[in-house]
Structure 1
Amino acid sequence: MSMKIRLARGGSKKRPYYAIVASDSRMPRDGRFLEKLGTYNPLLAKDSEDRVKMNMERVQYWLDQGAQPTDRVARFLEAAGARPKAARNNPKQAVPGKKATERAKEKAAKAAE
């Protein structure tokens, strides 16, 4: 069984509240899970200690059992010091689009004249 440590959404419309859960990866996002490991409230300030709460002993147990954290949960674990910081690289994000490059070429051609 492939296990995931991921977020399960709760809360009302436009007021999200997430539970950090260990579940089978084949289950739906808000569906059946094996254990609730913590909570995440994105509406709180980033420096608030109540924003992310995790039971680190149980999280470590599930990681030892082979559970894979999702990207967002992996960032929480990195911030808590439970995992080494992973290098992230998205070089295409900063590259301008096709129209912007065309405009830049036209501007450079006008300046060269």
Structure 2
Amino acid sequence: MGMYNILLLDQVEGCPQCGLGKTRYVQFGFGALALKEYRVGDDLEWGSLDRGEPGLRHVAVFGTGLNCVDCDYGCDDDFRIDVKSDVIVSAVVDDGTLDYLSQGHHYWLVLER
């Protein structure tokens, strides 16, 4: 994916392997790509190494779960991150129904302009 950002997701249960990691780390490529950490509710930053378009009403962004930071247990989950008007509004395990390549972008899909 090259440069990316990280979405930190709080989870009720810890890592299935070690039980410690209460935060999931999800790599995604949308906004200013600067290895910045975000949480749901944060505004995306723009202006440097941008991927995507600022100001879109609704975008689905593909994310990849990263390994547990405590025990390195492998995460094979892909995520759908919903961004509305440059605000991260939700993130869920991707169900595979969206074709992220259908609009010519590799990691994001415009749902509403």
- TM-score range normalised by the length of the shorter chain: under 0.3
By percentage of residues, which structure has more strand? 2
Q: TM (normalized to structure 2)?
A: 0.27
Structure number with greater Rg is: 1
TM-score by length of structure 1 reads 0.27
